[in-house]
Every structure is written in structure tokens, then in C-alpha cells.
Amino acid sequence: MAFLLGFVVLVSGNILDSAMALSNGAGLIPPMGWSSWCTVGKCGADFCDENEVLQAADALNTSGMLSLGYNYIVLDDCWAAGTRDAVTGALLADRNRFPRGMAPLADDLHRRGIKFGLYTSAGNQTCSSGGRSFPIPGSEGHYQQDANTFAAWGIDYVKLDWCGDVKHLPIDGVAKGRKYYVSFSHAINATTPLRSMFFSGVAAYIFLLSDAPIYTNAWRSFSDHHDTWTGMSGTATAITAQQDLGTAGRPGAWPDMDVLTTGGQACATNSTAHCPGQTDVEYMTEFSLWVMNQSPLMIATDIRNMTSIMKKVLLNAELTAIHQDTRTPPAKHVGIWPCSGDPLACQMWARPMADGSIVVALLNTDSKAHKITLEYARIGVSGWGTTTNATVYDLYVVQLCISSLHTPSTSHDPPWGARTGGLTPRSGTRWARLKQTSSHTVRPCYV
């Protein structure tokens, strides 16, 4: 698991170059919000209805999530009817679940300051039926029509999956996949009525590679993320995929590490109880590395019934502010600390911030605990002298300590864990702010 350490240095930061991002005005900051995917029933059961959406909107507001920037509600594969309009061929909402349709619901959410997103597929069918016994039509052959429908309904976010007949394309599937995602990108940015909508292309990176930021506002750098640390769909694999294969984000174009599973999926249909698949430390790590990479933060578990770890993680104002700050690039993997037994298990990620801080994640991917020593020279930021006094603070517990730069800080990282914190010169702005607002005792760093 990873622990984030924040380090503050007085360096300058500039707005990122967005020339190679989709120029539709959407996604200038990475989106945050709630997804229906794992809320009612296990992930993939994906039941949703109007009542659930309005309750989720209330929860975003009353929990404090909305004020932190969680201002999207995105329905996954659960909202559409099993057939299109017999006359026009337009997509329809499932009237058993959404009796008023989507436009009035979008209006309700907009009045609350919440943006609304919907899911569809590039093929003739979607991936899941949302707990129903019949298939759901995809957008194949209707790209412009469906984009126009979404715009007319007031939709703000469209997620395009890769399911249905397109999953069985022949050997030229990569070329066709590129054509399909480019075609939908053109459609969503030429709607009648014209509307700026965030475009999330689930499989776009497979087909577009480095061109994904030109045609989408977000692309998956990994397969579906499940509520587990290990395995091909686990959190550790998602982090590794972003490290090795992911394209760095920028305003208007963000790598998507998939939904957050903080607190655990629902135990059963119509149950508000959570059944966690990861430990609290693993959920902290999941959130930390999503923040470091500025992946969209879409929480897919039930925010109407927030557990203690959900509150601790999702309501962390320091980390959400770091995530939403686009004045400097996302974090980079900056090195490995030689842990005993597994030379690749202990990793370091760093992101310089515009206010002079440096946020650092010390990540332990091993199944046993390790000590990771952060040698400040590895961060690669000029201006740090061997006699500089710095403040280190943990971004999850907001405790302060004093450290000298010539004395490395050591983090005691549990299995599959990450430490989050901060460093600043004693005269830095972050130290002054924390000194004024923190009631915690200044202590030695990780000793």
C-alpha cells in the first residue's frame, strides 16, 4: 500500500499546455463524483433509478463531498430501456426506473450544482443489463443521433464502453476501434443542440494510444478495477499499469484508472451495507495514487451510508485540493527504494505543486511491512540544501514534524500501503498556513 508524503518547496508552476487535449471546453480539471456501478448490489449488478440518484445528490451535499468538488453523478449501464423509439430510433430511458425521463432529472441535478453523466457502448449492445433480463442497445449506427439526444437532455458526461458485436471484430479490430472512437468523438463535439460534454472513452487508449487525449477527455489506462488489492483487476495492477503504460494527464485530458471502490461494494441487492474487499490501508492507497495521477475520482460505492474509512478518505480536503490543482503536471514515478526481499516493492512517486510544495507517495506493494527511506535528492527539485530545515506532514492525519534535509525521513509502510504527507521549508507558505491552522503537536519525523 502507499503512504503519501507532501513536501513543500518554493518553486514556480504554470498552467499545463492543453494544445494536445480535446478542445471541447470540458474536463479542464479532473472530474470527481459518484458512479452507480457498485452501490446497489455487487459491482456489475448496477441497479439504478431516479430515487437513488436524488438520494445520492442529497448525500453529496450533506456529507460535504459537493463542496470539495465531487460534482458529477454518472449512471453506468443501468438507465436505458431495452429498445429504441420505434419511430425515431432514439435511445429511451427505462421508464420503470426513470418515469420522468432524463431531461427533468438532469434539470434537478443542475439546480443542485451537480453535473449528470450517462453510459453507452460503441457496439450494438452494452456490457451489462443493469440487473434486467434483456440486453440494452448500444450506440452503434446511431453515434450522432445519440450524441444529439444526450445534448438535448442536458447531459454533461458521456462514457463510451466497448461491448456488443464490436468485441468480436476480426484482425483489423484495432483500426476499426480507432475509427469508432474518433467517430464518436466527432459526434459528441458536433451536437444539435451544441453542448460541451465530457467524453470518457473506456477502451480508447487501446486503439488511439498517444492520440487518446486528442479525441477523448479521459481514457482508461487499465481494465476494469475491482475491489481487491491483488489480481489483474486489483488496485496494485492499476497503479502499475498507470506507471508503465499510462499517458500523463493535462487540462481537458485525463488518464482514468477506473472507479474508486472505497468502503466496499454493496453486500446484496437492496442492501445499504458495505462488504469491503480491501483493508482500510489499501483504500487509503487506492485514493492516494488516483490523486497523485489526477485520475477522475468516481466513487462507485454507496455514499448514502458512508463508513468511517469512506469519510476519512473521500472527505480529505488536502488531497482533493491537490487532485483539483492543474497548475503543475501529475505525479511521476521517481524511483525505487531497495527493500529487503523484493527489490521492486518499495516505490516513490512525486509531484511538485505550484505553491512550492512537493507531494510524495511512498508505496509498498509487498505483502509484508518495509521501511522506506526518502532521500530528498531523489525528488529532483533544485533549491534543497543539505542544511535546510523542512516541515513534514502526513496528509491523512495532518500532523507536523521538523526534519533537516541532510537527514532522510523514513516511513514505516505496512503491507500494501502508502504514506501521505508534506514537507516545506520553515519559512514556506504551507508551513505558515499549517502552523496557524493545525492544533497538532510538532513532532520528529517518522521516528
Closest CA to 264 of 231, 224, 299, 291: 299
CB atoms within 10 A of CB 262: 29
Cell of 109: 441535478
Query: What is the structure's pLDDT at 399?
Result: 52
Query: What is the structure's pLDDT at 3?
Result: 41
CA–CA dist 307, 63 (Å, integer): 12
Q: Tell me the Cα Rg of the chain.
A: 22
Q: Is the dihedral of CA 75, 54, 157, 86 positive or negative?
A: positive
Query: What is the structure's pLDDT at 348?
Result: 86
CB atoms within 10 A of CB 442: 13
Query: What is the structure's pLDDT at 222?
Result: 80
Calculate helix-pair angle for 280-292, 235-245, nearest 10 degrees. 20
Query: What is the structure's pLDDT at 325?
Result: 96
Query: What is the structure's pLDDT at 383?
Result: 64
Query: What is the structure's pLDDT at 201?
Result: 97
Q: Is residue 366 annotated as a catalytic residue, yes or no? A: no
Residues with Cβ within 8 Å of residue 330, at least 6 apart in sequence: 248, 249, 255, 292, 293, 294, 351
Which stretch of DSSP H or E encloses residue 424? strand 417-425
Given the residues 77, 94, 161, 258, select the one marked as catalytic.
161
CA–CA dist 195, 22 (Å, integer): 14
CA–CA dist 423, 428 (Å, integer): 10
Mean pLDDT by 10 residues, the chain (447 residues): 38 36 89 95 88 98 98 97 98 98 98 98 93 94 98 98 87 83 97 97 93 95 89 90 84 96 87 89 93 97 96 94 95 85 83 83 84 72 59 68 48 54 48 45 41
Given the residues 58, 224, 325, 342, select the one marked as catalytic.
224
Q: Is residue 94 annotated as a catalytic residue, yes or no? A: no
- DSSP-derived letter for residue 64 is S
Query: What is the structure's pLDDT at 381?
Result: 67
Query: What is the structure's pLDDT at 55?
Result: 97
